[in-house]
Chain A
């Protein structure tokens, strides 16, 4: 199998970020909360490769630990969102009837409020901890996964080959796992990439607003918030996470695009 250049680059950087997240304690030169300089916003030097932040912590270390938190939270929320969304979506599609109506209407209702706004409403009374964040983000986002999985499953369900399997007498489990799932997998995997990006952006936004990961814990959105003040003095420390988030998101996007294209070309292929 030939991997196109764009997808290869995407895969490389995605892997790089995940490895950095896993091995953060080994890679980071200093602790994430360790004050290592008496100055503030030291410029990059041999000692501090990216300089220091507003209270003299090593920025590179905070970026590495921040990536770990951001990627961890986003991954956990994506997994939650996917398991909930796709299980319920397939269920709604295959069961039909009132199960489908109930789930679909509830999802319509949830989606008529922008997720950021609803998250803010809920977080106004919730203690802001990692599990709460993952739960709120994952469940709110599962509505989108639900809609996609349901739509994909409904599209496949009306295919004659599914009818043929029914007429053969196959059980529902067989139909879901052998007829529907193999054909739904690629769009769902591609969507998983997009959902992950969205989760990264979501948690970063919440942290930036001061309602996500709490200090001194580092995460990319929080690093922006901590160093935002420096911007007006011409100190670009707050822009650092921009680079990190954008490269991670673009890499995942490139991989997702590739997965999706492979599916469509397989479907569109003619004898």
Chain B
């Protein structure tokens, strides 16, 4: 057997951190990782944020982002240890033997230069091809990657093509010099789910077609399962498990890997809708001030007490606008909101304190949803003062109860938001909403900024709290796995309209309309061969084209 394309041995990576109020010091973020990557194979690096996966990917190009430094180990490419190479040799390696595809093509393309110039630049500069050959190759790649007008798309500027197209252009950029190894760093994470699947397919076909080796970095196990041969699971800079895709997905050995594999398997039996709805959205049509088109068209949905209505859609579907209309931040042009048997004022200013108390909200970014100058105790305590006139011991007792409910202890009372982890922050926001004893809580993408395991914990907590407090959730999300996990009723939104609406079983069972079919089928599933299967069954083109 020939030498592996990429051989990494005991790789150690450090970084300088600047904690406030302390002297800057060095820490180790990757603690001795080793792996091999054969020619033409794809290795998936998977882990949550802070696992060190991107850092390892860039180390394959002898590159450290920001203050990151490679402190030890070996990285062999084509029989050379690149960590021992001089600057000149490393430069010859980058862009020729190893290339890189980043998460955000929109930021990674120079806004001032045409796409084609940037795609061929490395190949020409590294003397792999003449300019003419490189351009021909770029056009061929554009075609292979399924880009429209492959002969002319390169004459455009980056802002003139869509996000999904630009991500494919970035792949072309990486493949143009005929490298031996490509590092894909979360190449589909920033895309909508129906766009992601096309880009994923294009990348997979391009890898297979060119026989290049690839490192595929992502936090999404279902995605990596579609494109990789082997998978390495990383956590806190250490290797957890390393094996074939089949073994990792179907027979994970380590607890952590098992948790990652089963992350989306919350079971929640749908409850039947009974009684009068707590919220009725009636014929809502809305547009933003100063714009000429409606963001919502005649939207009708109901939410029943103690249940969860999931509003699902991609970016631009109008799902967050719906939340703004319900909360009174954006008065609608037509239609009305009925809540707990009364019609709510369209305007926030016209609502009673009781209206406001009974309708609470939890935000996507817990970081900015809490005043950084207030302690957890103040944040949770304010609704108690404001709505129930609580103070002193009584208030403190209730705050501690709420902290217990969100599985944080009394000791968190005097902490500031900056001292909490992402998951803890979101829990505090949940407690603040519960403190008002609401009938309904709007949850706006509350788990999308969190790592999968942490998100899972939050969803379980919400389901549990729903039982205890008998509160209804309006759950806004783009993630269908979340929808499956928690909803009783589902509204699928597309271009400002409710495309499909009904109980979970109804909405998720065939026959489907074209859009719902596209959306549902685009959600990566954690099994081998899923991608090919889906592509061959599609009825509708995704919005990314």
Contact = CB atoms under 8 A, between A and B. Distances in A.
A166 B351 CA distance: 11
A266 B425 CA distance: 16
Contacts of A269: 19-20, 418-419
B383 A168 contact: yes
Contact of B386 (A160, A169, A271): A169
Given A169-B386, A271-B422, A271-B424, A161 B348 contact: no
Interface residues of A, number: 22
Given A163-B329, A271-B421, A168 B369 contact: no
A179 B20 contact: no
A25 to B, nearest CB: 42
Contact of A271 (B329, B361, B420): B420
A178 B386 CA distance: 14
B249 interface: no
Interface in B346-405: 348, 351, 353, 356-357, 360-361, 363, 365, 368-373, 382-383, 386
A170 B356 CA distance: 10
B295 to A, nearest CB: 18
A265 B420 contact: no
B392 to A, nearest CB: 19
> Most chain-A CB neighbours within 10 Å: which of B328, B368, B432?
B368
A70 B534 CA distance: 77
A36 interface: no
B369 A161 contact: yes
Given A168-B386, A170-B386, A271 B419 contact: yes
Given A160-B363, A160-B365, A163-B329, A182 B418 contact: no
Nearest to A180: B371
Contact of A161 (B327, B370, B418, B436): B370
Given A160-B369, A182-B373, A271 B356 contact: no
A105 interface: no
B371 A179 contact: yes
A26 interface: no
B510 interface: no
B372 A266 contact: yes
Given A161-B370, A169-B357, A183-B372, 16 more contacts: A160-B368, A160-B369, A163-B329, A164-B369, A164-B432, A167-B348, A167-B356, A168-B382, A169-B351, A183-B371, A266-B372, A266-B418, A269-B19, A271-B418, A271-B419, A271-B425
6 contacts: A160-B369, A161-B371, A164-B363, A167-B329, A167-B348, A271-B421
Interface of B: 19-21, 327-329, 348, 351, 353, 356-357, 360-361, 363, 365, 368-373, 382-383, 386, 418-422, 424-425, 432, 436
Interface of A: 2, 159-161, 163-164, 166-170, 178-179, 182-183, 265-271
